[in-house]
C-alpha cells in the first residue's frame, strides 16, 4: 500500500469520525485498526505507533487527561475569561433555549422545526379580533389622533377600557382576557395597520409592566389589589425604567431607594425613601399606577447585613404625594402618551416592592425574564402589522397611479421596491408567528426575542422608506389622506426603545446567543466557577473535551460543505425548498465553527469586539429568519402561488448570512487565519446571490393584483371601507380600477384613439355616445374616477389651519371632485 493512499484514507477516516461526531473511544479504535492495516502493509512503523499512543492514551485515560490536560486548561481558562457580573448572569439565566439552540448545534434537525405546532387562534380570540378589534379600528382617525388631538379620542380610550384591551395578558381569575401570545400579536398587527398610537397604547400594558410583573412575582395581596383594576381599565399602568443617565445600559440606573423608617397613614412603618428621574415612559401622563425600577440600599442594616441590595421594582400610586407626573414628551409627531416621572425623597412602605420585601434586589432578574417574552411580541408585531398594511396599500397605489401612460407598478424600478416590500411582509409575519408560538409553548426566548425586535424594526424602517419612494409627494404631504407620513416619521421610535438597535445587534443577540445556545460555553463557565478543585476539574473535563469534539466536528463539516457536500444533507422535503435546508445546515456549521474560533482567539475580549459579535449575530439571525420562513410556507400548505415570496425571503436570508461571514473573515483579528478560513469554507467564492429581478417582478404582480397570495399576505389586517380608513379606499379603488380598464380599452377601440387614463367620467360619456357600454358600466367608470382622484391627490390647508393652537375656520380641501 502506498503511504500517500494510506494517509489520505486516514484523513478521510478522521473526517468521517468528526463529521458524524463519533465517540472518542470508537474513533480511536477505528484509527488503531487502520494503523494495524498500515503496519501489515509496511506503511506504519515504530515511530508512527509512538505518536499514536502519545496522543491516544492521554485522551482516552481519564486520570491522565484530567491531570495533564484538563487541569492546566482550567487554570488558563480562568485567567482569560472574566468573571460574570450578577446582571450578566441574570440576563443569561432569564431566557430558555429553543430553536436557536438547534441553529447553534451546527446540525439543525429540520424535522423538529416542522413538528412544532402551527400558531392558531382560539374561537374566543378570533371573535375578539372580528368584533372589538374591528370596531375600534373603525373608530380611529389617524389624522385626528396625530394632528388635532395629539391623543386618542375619549371615546376610543373608554372603548379600550370597556373591552379589556389592556388586559390581554391578565388571567381570567382577575377579570382579564388571558389571551395567547399569538393572539396578542394578531391584535397588535391589526391595530398597527390603522394607527401606531393605538397599537402602542394597547401594546405597552400587555408587555413589560405592572400587569406582567404582578402575575409572576406579586404577593397575593398585591394581585388582588391591582389586577382587577388593571383588567377593567380603572387602573392605567406604566413602567419607569429609563433614566437620563441610563438608557440602553438599564443596569446602571442612578435612581435610588434608601431603606428607612417613616410615617405612612399615621403610623411609623419600615419603608423606602425614593429619589428618581425617569424619562421616555409610555402611558406615564395618564397612568394611575407606576411601576418603578431603582437601586435599593440599606445603610442602617434594617433588612440585614447587605448594604447594597440592588435593583428593585415597586408599584407606586400616581397620586402619591411628591410624585411629579403628567407632562408629555412629543415623540416624532407620533403622539402616544409618553413622558417623564420624577420624585425626590418620596417615602413609601416596603410592601410596595413587587413581591414584598423578599423580592428586594431581584428587580433586574424580574425585568430581564419578562422582557425575554414581551420583546418577542409587541415591537415585532407592531412592525409586522404596519408592513403588511403598507405592502397592500403600496401595491394598490402603484397599480392605480399612472405616469408615462402606464401604471407606475409596471416600471422596473418600482418593481424592485415592491419586491422588497412584499417579501419582507411575508418574512416578518413568519417571524412573529413562530416567536409567539414559542412563548405560548412556555419558552422565554431571550435570544429569539432580541432577533425579532432588531430585525423586524429594521425591516419596518426599510419597507417604509421603499414605500415613501414609490408614493413620492403623496407620502410627503401630510393630511387626512396621507396614510404613510406618520409611519415614516415614527420609524426611529421602534428602533430606539426596548434596547437600541445598535446595542441589540452588536451586543445582545450574539452575546446572549453564544452563552445560552452554544452547547458547551455556559457549561464551561459554570464549571470554572466551582470552588471545589476536584469537582471543578471533573465537570470542566466533561465539557472541555465535548467542546473540542464539537469544534473539530464543525471544522470537518464546514470544509466538506464548502466543497459541495451540503448537497448530500437529507431534508424534510425534496421540492424547491430542499437547497434552502441544505444551505442553512452548512451555514449553521459555519456559525458554530466561527463562534468557537472567535472565542478561542479573543477569549473574554470577544464581548468588546462588537463588530465581530454583530456579524456572528447576523449569521444566527438570518438562519433563524430563514427557518421561520420555511416553517410558515409549510404551515400554510406549501402554496404554489406563494413561491416567489418564499424564494425571495430565503435567498435574501442566505445572502445576508453569507455576507456576514465574509465580512467577519475579511476583518478577523488574525488576518492570516481569516484568509485561510475563507479559502477552506468558501473555496469557490460566494455561493448565494441576492433575489433576482424576476422574483421582484412576480412579487410586484402579487401586490398589484387581488389574488389568494395577496390575501394571505394581508391576513388579519383592517380592510373595511369607511371614511377613517384610507387602506379600505385603496382596496376598493384597486378592484374598481381593474374592472374599469377593459371598459376603458373598449371605448378607446371604438373611438379609434388612445385616450389618457384620466377623466374617466368623460370616457364614460363617450362610451355611451358610441354605444359600446351600458349605463351600469358607465357608472363604474365614473366611480373609478372619483376613487382614482382620491387616491392620487393630496391635502391642502388654509394657512391658519396649520398654526399650532388655532382651530380651523374651514375644512381641509381633501376631497377632490371629478373634472
Q: Supply 143's cell numbers.
A: 389624522
Encode 510-530 in three state secondary structure.
HHHHHHHCCCCHHHHHHHHCC
Cβ-contact 636, 712 below 8 angstroms: yes
Is 498 one of the annotated active-site residues of the chain?
yes
Quickly tell me which residue has 462588537 as its cell.
610
Encode 714-778 in three state secondary structure.
CCCCCCCCCCCCHHHHHHHHHHHHHHHHHHHHHHHHHHCCCCCCCCHHHHHHHHHHHCCCCHHHH
- CA separation, residue 404 to residues 371, 408, 409, 756 (Å): 51, 8, 12, 10
For 449-487, give the DSSP string: HHHHHHHHHHHHHHHHHHHHHHHTHHHHS-STT-SSHHH
Say how far apart CA 578 and CA 576 lie, in whole Å.
6
Q: In residues, how long is the chain? A: 819
Q: Give residue 805's Cα distance to chain centre.
A: 39
Say how far apart CA 743 and CA 760 lie, in whole Å.
10
> Rounded to the nearest 5°, which phi and psi values hold at 445?
-80, 75
Say how far apart CA 331 and CA 279 lie, in whole Å.
12
Say how far apart CA 464 and CA 485 lie, in whole Å.
9
Q: Which of 235, 443, 498, 524 is catalytic?
A: 498
Cβ-contact 714, 392 below 8 angstroms: yes
Cβ-contact 581, 569 below 8 angstroms: yes
- CA separation, residue 524 to residues 441, 520, 548, 627, 656 (Å): 28, 6, 12, 28, 31
Its sign, for the CA torsion 282, 286, 289, 290, is: positive
Cβ-contact 255, 236 below 8 angstroms: no
Cβ atoms < 10 Å from Cβ of 645? 28
- Annotated catalytic residues are 498
Amino acid at each position: 500500500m502506498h503511504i500517500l493512499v494510506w494517509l489520505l484514507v486516514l484523513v478521510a477516516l478522521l473526517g468521517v469520525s468528526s463529521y458524524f461526531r463519533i465517540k472518542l473511544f470508537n474513533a480511536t479504535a477505528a484509527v488503531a485498526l487502520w494503523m494495524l492495516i498500515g503496519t501489515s502493509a509496511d506503511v506504519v512503523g515504530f515511530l508512527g505507533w509512538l505518536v499514536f499512543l502519545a496522543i491516544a492514551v492521554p485522551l482516552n485515560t481519564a486520570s491522565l487527561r484530567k491531570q495533564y490536560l484538563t487541569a492546566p486548561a482550567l487554570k488558563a481558562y480562568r485567567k482569560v475569561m472574566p468573571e460574570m457580573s450578577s446582571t450578566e448572569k441574570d440576563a443569561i439565566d432569564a431566557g430558555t433555549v429553543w430553536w436557536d439552540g438547534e441553529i447553534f448545534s451546527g446540525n439543525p434537525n429540520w424535522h423538529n422545526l416542522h413538528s412544532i405546532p402551527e400558531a392558531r387562534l382560539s374561537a374566543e380570540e378570533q371573535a375578539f379580533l372580528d368584533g372589538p378589534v374591528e370596531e375600534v379600528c373603525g373608530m380611529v382617525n389617524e389624522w385626528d389622533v396625530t394632528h388635532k388631538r395629539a391623543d386618542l379620542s375619549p371615546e376610543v380610550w373608554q372603548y379600550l377600557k370597556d373591552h379589556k384591551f389592556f388586559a390581554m395578558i391578565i388571567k381570567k381569575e382577575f377579570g382579564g382576557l388571558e389571551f395567547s401570545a399569538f393572539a396578542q400579536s394578531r391584535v397588535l398587527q391589526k391595530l398597527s395597520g390603522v394607527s401606531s398610537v393605538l397599537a402602542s397604547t394597547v401594546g405597552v400594558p400587555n408587555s413589560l409592566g405592572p400587569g406582567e410583573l404582578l402575575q409572576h412575582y406579586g404577593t397575593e395581596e398585591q394581585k388582588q389589589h391591582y389586577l382587577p383594576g388593571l383588567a377593567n381599565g380603572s387602573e392605567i399602568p406604566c413602567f419607569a425604567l429609563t433614566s437620563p443617565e441610563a438608557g440602553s445600559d438599564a443596569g446602571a440606573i442612578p435612581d435610588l431607594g434608601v431603606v428607612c423608617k417613616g410615617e405612612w397613614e399615621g403610623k411609623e412603618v419600615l419603608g423606602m425613601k425614593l429619589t428618581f428621574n425617569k424619562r421616555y415612559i409610555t402611558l406615564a401622563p395618564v397612568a394611575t399606577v407606576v411601576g418603578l425600577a431603582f437601586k435599593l440600599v440599606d445603610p442602617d442594616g434594617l433588612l440585614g447585613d447587605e448594604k447594597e441590595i440592588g435593583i428593585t421594582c415597586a408599584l407606586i400610586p400616581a397620586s402619591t404625594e411628591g410624585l411629579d407626573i403628567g407632562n408629555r414628551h412629543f415623540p416624532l409627531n407620533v403622539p402616544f402618551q409618553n413622558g417623564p416621572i420624577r420624585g425626590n425623597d418620596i417615602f413609601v412602605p416596603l410592601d410596595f416592592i413587587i413581591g414584598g420585601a423578599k423580592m428586594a434586589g431581584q428587580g433586574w432578574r424580574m425585568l430581564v425574564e419578562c422582557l425575554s417574552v414581551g420583546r418577542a411580541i409587541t415591537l415585532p408585531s407592531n412592525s409586522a402589522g404596519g408592513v403588511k398594511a403598507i405592502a397592500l396599500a403600496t401595491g394598490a397605489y402603484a397599480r392605480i397611479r399612472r405616469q408615462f401612460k402606464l401604471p407606475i407598478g409596471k416600471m422596473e424600478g418600482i418593481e424592485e421596491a415592491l419586491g422588497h416590500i412584499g417579501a419582507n411582509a411575508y418574512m416578518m409575519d413568519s417571524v412573529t408567528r413562530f416567536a409567539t408560538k414559542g412563548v405560548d409553548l412556555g419558552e422565554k426566548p431571550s435570544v429569539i426575542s432580541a432577533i425579532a425586535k432588531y430585525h423586524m424594526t429594521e425591516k419596518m424602517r426599510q419597507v417604509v422608506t421603499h414605500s415613501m419612494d414609490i408614493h413620492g409627494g403623496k407620502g410627503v404631504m401630510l393630511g387626512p389622506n396621507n396614510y404613510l407620513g406618520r409611519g415614516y416619521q415614527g420609524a426611529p421610535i421602534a428602533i430606539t426603545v426596548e434596547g437600541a438597535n445598535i446595542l441589540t445587534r452588536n451586543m445582545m443577540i450574539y452575546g446572549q446567543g453564544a452563552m445560552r445556545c452554544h452547547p458547551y460555553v455556559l457549561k464551561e463557565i459554570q464549571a470554572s466557577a466551582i470552588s471545589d478543585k476536584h469537582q471543578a476539574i471533573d465537570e470542566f473535563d466533561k465539557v472541555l473535551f465535548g467542546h473540542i469534539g464539537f469544534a473539530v466536528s464543525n471544522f470537518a463539516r464546514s470544509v466538506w460543505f464548502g466543497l459541495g457536500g451540503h448537497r448530500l444533507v437529507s431534508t424534510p422535503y425534496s421540492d424547491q425548498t430542499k437547497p434552502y435546508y441544505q444551505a442553512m445546515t452548512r451555514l449553521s456549521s459555519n456559525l458554530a465553527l466561527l463562534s468557537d474560533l472567535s472565542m478561542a482567539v479573543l477569549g473574554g475580549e470577544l464581548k468588546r469586539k462588537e463588530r465581530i459579535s454583530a456579524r456572528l449575530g447576523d449569521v444566527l439571525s438570518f438562519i433563524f429568519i430563514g427557518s421561520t420562513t420555511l416553517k410558515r410556507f409549510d404551515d400554510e400548505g406549501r402554496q404554489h402561488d406563494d413561491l416567489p415570496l418564499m424564494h425571495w425571503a430565503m435567498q435574501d436570508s442566505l445572502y445576508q448570512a453569507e455576507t456576514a461571514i465574509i465580512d467577519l473573515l475579511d476583518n478577523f483579528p488574525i488576518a492570516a487565519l481569516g484568509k485561510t478560513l475563507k479559502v477552506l469554507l468558501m473555496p469557490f467564492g460566494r455561493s448565494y446571490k441576492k433575489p433576482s429581478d424576476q422574483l421582484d417582478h412576480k412579487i410586484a404582480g402579487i401586490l398589484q393584483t387581488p389574488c389568494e397570495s395577496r390575501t394571505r399576505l394581508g391576513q388579519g389586517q383592517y380592510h373595511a371601507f369607511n371614511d377613517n380608513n384610507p387602506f379600505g379606499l385603496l382596496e376598493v379603488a384597486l378592484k374598481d380600477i381593474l374592472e374599469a380598464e377593459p371598459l376603458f380599452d373598449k371605448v378607446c377601440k371604438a373611438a379609434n384613439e388612445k385616450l389618457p387614463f384620466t377623466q374617466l367620467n368623460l370616457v364614460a360619456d363617450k362610451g355611451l355616445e358610441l354605444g359600446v357600454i351600458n349605463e351600469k358600466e358607465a357608472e363604474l367608470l365614473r366611480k373609478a374616477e372619483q376613487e382614482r382622484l382620491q387616491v392620487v391627490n393630496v391635502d391642502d390647508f388654509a394657512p391658519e389651519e396649520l398654526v399650532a393652537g388655532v382651530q380651523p375656520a374651514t375644512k381641509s380641501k381633501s376631497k377632490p371632485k371629478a373634472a
